[in-house]
Amino acid sequence: MNPPRTEIFTDSTALLRRIKKQFEGKRIFILTDENVSSACLHALLEEFNSIGEIDVIEVEAGETSKSLSICDHLWSHLIENNCSKSDLILNFGGGVITDLGGFVASSFKRGIPFIHVPTSLMAMTDAAIGGKTGIDHLDVKNVIGTFALPEAILVNTSFLETLPMQELKSGFAEMLKHALISNKTLWQSLLKLESVTHKTIIPFLSESIKIKEEIVNSDFREKGQRKLLNFGHTLGHALESSYLRQNKPISHGEAVALGMVIETAIANRIGHTDKEHSDAMIAGITQHFPLENYHLPNFADLIPFILNDKKNAGDKIMLTLVSKPGEASYNIELSMETIQEAYTIFHQ
């Protein structure tokens, strides 16, 4: 099965027409969270009865739902309701829901069909694309998961209007990442945005999605080129996990933005990029994610998460680094000491 192309719609009517075309008559289990349910779900349910039997499963919003206990609850619900391979799971929400729902579907009865209808910018540009599913365990992000492809990825841009600014900026961080690793022109265009709103972002949405899809399609199992997408994620995931452990969670996008800043400083420190490019890239990121807004944890708090990063090769810490906008390299081996030296630039 080839990875599905993300389809973009501008309203719920067109989205529902698309779902009805392929999935009419199926029993559909809709997985969502409490926030999405109150903001967006009514737009789907009004017409869903004409498509098939519907069962809505709602979980708490936030990263803590990506857990084995929630998976147990969901698997139990599917068993109790006689879910079969002829049914469908529709993951309706942000990155937490697409990660969680994809994992539950791919592991239940060795895999049942699922689709993603992402409602956040983060999910639209990143989490819903690429066939990665995952949950967290022992505070380590996405450490348990599978590669599993959805039947379809259906984006409705009108859902972006419901997002608070923090969620928009979280997804915007991934758009910046896509531009930095692959498309200098997109990077320069995004830098010109005076503000991040659903209206200013939408013109660049399809290009950002295209970058992710092309990289994934060239290397689905992440043996090479797909590792470029890990830029900002080694330090980003460590920061995200550390904040979560302190019960002071930040969004995934904020963590990735901080990770990109620190990893760019690392690249400059080891001579992978020069000071001019390093300073310009850091300035471009921090204009939207000011470092003074974050109280960075002590580096010692990050070490366990860095060592457990799934991108490592044995005991070797492997990073993806950008030399200049549009040019990135993966499998760069680094010592913990070098990472710490760069980190201390921002944590005094």
Judge whether residue 332 has pLDDT over 80: yes
Judge whether residue 329 has pLDDT over 90: yes
pLDDT level of residue 267 (50, 70, 90 thresholds): very high
- % of the chain surpassing 70 pLDDT: 99
- Note the pLDDT of residue 40: 87
What value does the mean pLDDT take over residues 281-297? 96
The strand pair at 114-118 and 140-144 is best described as: unpaired
- Note the pLDDT of residue 311: 85
* 304: its two tokens: 């366990």
Catalytic positions, please? 110, 132, 174, 212, 222, 226, 230, 233, 237, 252
Backbone angles phi, psi at 221, to 5 degrees: -85, 5
Q: What residues have CB less than 8 Å from 80, skipping those under 6 apart? A: none
Mean pLDDT taken over the chain:
94
Judge whether residue 152 has pLDDT over 80: yes
Choice between 22 and 49, residue whose per-residue pLDDT is larger = 22
Judge whether residue 48 has pLDDT over 80: no
pLDDT digits (tens, 9 = 90+) for 65-122: 999 999 999 999 999 999 999 999 999 999 999 999 999 999 999 999 999 999 999 9
What value does the mean pLDDT take over residues 24-34? 94
- Note the pLDDT of residue 140: 85
| Cα-based torsion angle of the residue sequence 157, 61, 242, 237 in order, rounded to the nearest 10 degrees | -30
Residue with the two structure tokens 């209808």: 117
Q: Percentages helix, strand, coil for the chain, rounded to the nearest 5?
A: 55, 15, 30
Choice between 315 and 147, residue whose per-residue pLDDT is larger = 147
- Note the pLDDT of residue 189: 97
What value does the mean pLDDT take over residues 329-344? 96
Judge whether residue 46 has pLDDT over 80: no
pLDDT level of residue 348 (50, 70, 90 thresholds): low
Which of 222, 343, 230, 336 has its CA nearest to residue 294? 343
Which of 210, 214, 261, 216 has its CA nearest to residue 235? 261
Indicate the class that CATH gives domain 6-162: alpha beta
- Let me know if the fold of 6-162 is the same as that of 165-343: no
- Note the pLDDT of residue 47: 66
- Classify domain 165-343 by CATH number: 1.20.1090.10
pLDDT digits (tens, 9 = 90+) for 173-226: 999 999 999 999 999 999 999 899 999 999 999 999 999 999 999 999 999 999
- Note the pLDDT of residue 319: 97
Domain locations in the chain as residue ranges:
6-162, 165-343
Q: 56-92 as b/e, with b when 16 or more CB fall inside 10 Å?
A: bbbbebebebbbeebbeebeeebeeeebeeebbbbbb
**Considering the entire predicted model, what is its pTM?**
0.94
- Note the pLDDT of residue 49: 67
